[in-house]
């Protein structure tokens, strides 16, 4: 599974002790459910059973959801992509009107809309973008001579009394639960992502095994937390999550939300000014060596790098027997995986030689177990960092203000 294979600095005893206490405090909290999800077997079995039903009656799924209602599923499915899936999943996670209508009209002409199952995801049950997308799809279905959206849909929400659940009960739409003690951005190991993952053929049991493994890795969690606290102490206000595995591209976007919404707080629990936390930026190697590496190498020394490497990605492929280009002599007799590994090692060495601090997490392969483990691991680290900073890592007051103002604009 994942191991901390390289660091440029060692954690201080002070940072380790603080991290150990913070992890203990996190585990002692009874109001948080995300780290109990692997043991809540009914959520996994209900997701598997619903996916099995839907695979018999449809060949495509459209997930309507914003933020954590979309990013977790994207991280799982795109991380473990099957190139010839029998059942495809799309994530509709923005209300850009032009693109939305292009998508819906294309699907109307090139697909059988009745063969598309719509999954409407909102923890609160009143996310304005998500409900609006569902309303316009329903209107389009009816005007195009199809059945209403409720005939081909599943709702994923809290079981509380909210607009989405009231509609689902009225229309007889099946629903799956987001537990009340699991926040939206910590919901990846709930039906939010498990239903679409199972629908496109991923093995939920192996994802669960990976998450269970992460829950036993106290030493790794403490070290990653301590490394993070040390980077804040060095005033490295950008944390760059650089994945040398194309399957972790969407994982980077999921991590960006998890880190930013959880740690970017104005006030601590005492109501005083919160400690500063870094801004997360996802990157993918080797492609982003050609976009941001110059800034990392010669820009401000305000960055801390997390490298993610997958050994299988650095081995795969046949040997190149003959070069086509006279500048390519180095690649004859080597695999593409060897080139990828060389790029990863060279980038890490170059940043290290340039005095840029980093850590490296490595796994043998990217599969259901290792990705499930990585998702839970990052959730535990972020939660532990939040405890160490004495902030509430599980709310998002800055986001709520924007939602309120948008409603005020629309009401005028």
Q: Whose CA is closest to 311, among 253, 360, 375?
A: 360
- To the nearest whole number, what is the mean pLDDT of the chain? 94
The answer for 333, left when phi > 0, alpha when psi is -120 to 50, beta otherwise, is: left
Whether CATH 3.40.50.1220 fits 3-30+208-393: no
Predicted TM-score (pTM) of this structure: 0.95
The torsion of the CA quartet 158, 376, 370, 193, rounded to 10 degrees, works out to 10
Tokens describing residue 90? 């799309």
State mean pLDDT over 180-192: 97
How confident is the model at residue 321, as a pLDDT?
87
Strands 88-92 vs 153-157: parallel, antiparallel or unpaired: unpaired
H/E element, 250 = helix 249-263
Asked whether the predicted pLDDT for residue 260 surpasses 90, the reply is yes
Task: Summarize pLDDT for 129-183 with one digit per residue, the tens.
Answer: 999 999 999 999 999 888 899 999 999 999 999 999 999 999 999 999 999 999 9
pLDDT confidence bin for 401, thresholds 50/70/90: confident
Strands 303-310 vs 279-284: parallel, antiparallel or unpaired: unpaired
How big is the chain by its Cα radius of gyration, in Å? 22
Q: Cis before residue 286, ω within 30 degrees of 0?
A: yes
For the beta sheet containing 60-64, the strands, ordered from the edge strand earlier in sequence to the opposite edge, are 88-92, 60-64, 116-121, 153-157, 175-177
pLDDT confidence bin for 84, thresholds 50/70/90: low
State mean pLDDT over 402-410: 81
Is the Cβ–Cβ distance between 196 and 50 less than 8 Å? Answer: no
Q: Where in the chain is the domain with CATH 3.40.50.10490?
A: 3-30+208-393, 34-204
How confident is the model at residue 410, as a pLDDT?
81
Give the whole-angstrom CA distance, residue 280 versus residue 304.
Answer: 10
Domain spanning 34-204: CATH superfamily: Glucose-6-phosphate isomerase like protein; domain 1 (3.40.50.10490)
Distances (CA, A) of 330 to 126, 202, 242: 57, 38, 26
Task: Summarize pLDDT for 326-380 with one digit per residue, the tens.
Answer: 777 788 888 999 999 999 999 999 999 999 999 999 999 999 999 999 999 999 9
Distance linking the first and last C-alpha atoms of the chain: 54
How confident is the model at residue 110, as a pLDDT?
64
Proportion of the chain in helix, strand, coil states, percent, rounded to 5: 55, 15, 30
């Amino acid at each position: 599974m994942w191991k901390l294979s390289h660091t440029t600095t060692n954690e201080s005893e002070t940072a380790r002790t603080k991290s150990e206490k913070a992890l203990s405090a996190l585990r002692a909290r009874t109001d948080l459910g995300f780290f109990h999800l692997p043991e809540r077997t009914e959520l996994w079995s209900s997701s598997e059973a619903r996916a099995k039903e839907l695979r018999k009656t449809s060949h495509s799924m459209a997930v309507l959801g914003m933020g954590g209602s979309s990013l977790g599923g994207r991280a799982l499915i795109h991380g473990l992509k099957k190139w010839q899936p029998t059942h495809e999943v799309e994530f509709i996670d923005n209300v850009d009107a032009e693109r939305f209508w292009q998508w819906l009209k294309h699907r109307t002409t090139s697909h059988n809309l009745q063969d598309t199952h719509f999954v409407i995801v909102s923890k609160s049950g009143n996310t304005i973008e998500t409900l609006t997308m569902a309303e316009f799809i329903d209107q389009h279905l009816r005007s195009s001579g199809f059945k209403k959206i409720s005939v081909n849909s599943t709702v994923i929400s809290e079981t509380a009394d909210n607009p989405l659940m009231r509609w689902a009960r009225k229309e007889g739409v099946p629903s799956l639960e987001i537990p009340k003690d699991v926040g939206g951005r910590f919901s990846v190991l709930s039906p939010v992502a498990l239903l679409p993952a199972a629908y496109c053929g991923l093995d939920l049991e192996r994802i669960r095994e990976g998450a269970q493994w992460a829950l036993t890795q106290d030493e790794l969690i403490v070290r990653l937390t301590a490394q993070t606290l040390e980077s804040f102490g060095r005033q490295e206000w950008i944390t760059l999550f650089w994945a040398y595995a194309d399957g972790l591209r969407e994982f980077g976007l999921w991590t960006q939300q998890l880190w930013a919404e959880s740690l970017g707080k104005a006030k601590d629990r005492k109501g005083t000014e919160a400690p500063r936390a870094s801004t997360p930026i996802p990157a993918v190697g080797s492609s982003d060596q050609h976009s941001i590496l110059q800034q990392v190498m010669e820009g401000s020394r305000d960055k801390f790098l997390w490298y993610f490497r997958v050994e299988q990605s650095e081995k795969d492929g046949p040997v190149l027997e003959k070069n086509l280009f006279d500048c390519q002599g180095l690649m004859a007799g080597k695999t593409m995986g060897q080139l990828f590994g060389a790029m990863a090692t060279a980038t890490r060495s170059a940043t290290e030689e340039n005095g840029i601090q980093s850590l490296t997490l490595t796994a043998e392969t990217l599969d259901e177990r290792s990705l499930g483990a990585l998702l839970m691991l990052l959730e535990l680290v972020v939660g532990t960092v939040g405890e160490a900073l004495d902030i509430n890592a599980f709310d998002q007051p800055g986001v709520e203000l924007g939602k309120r103002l948008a409603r005020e604009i629309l009401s005028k």
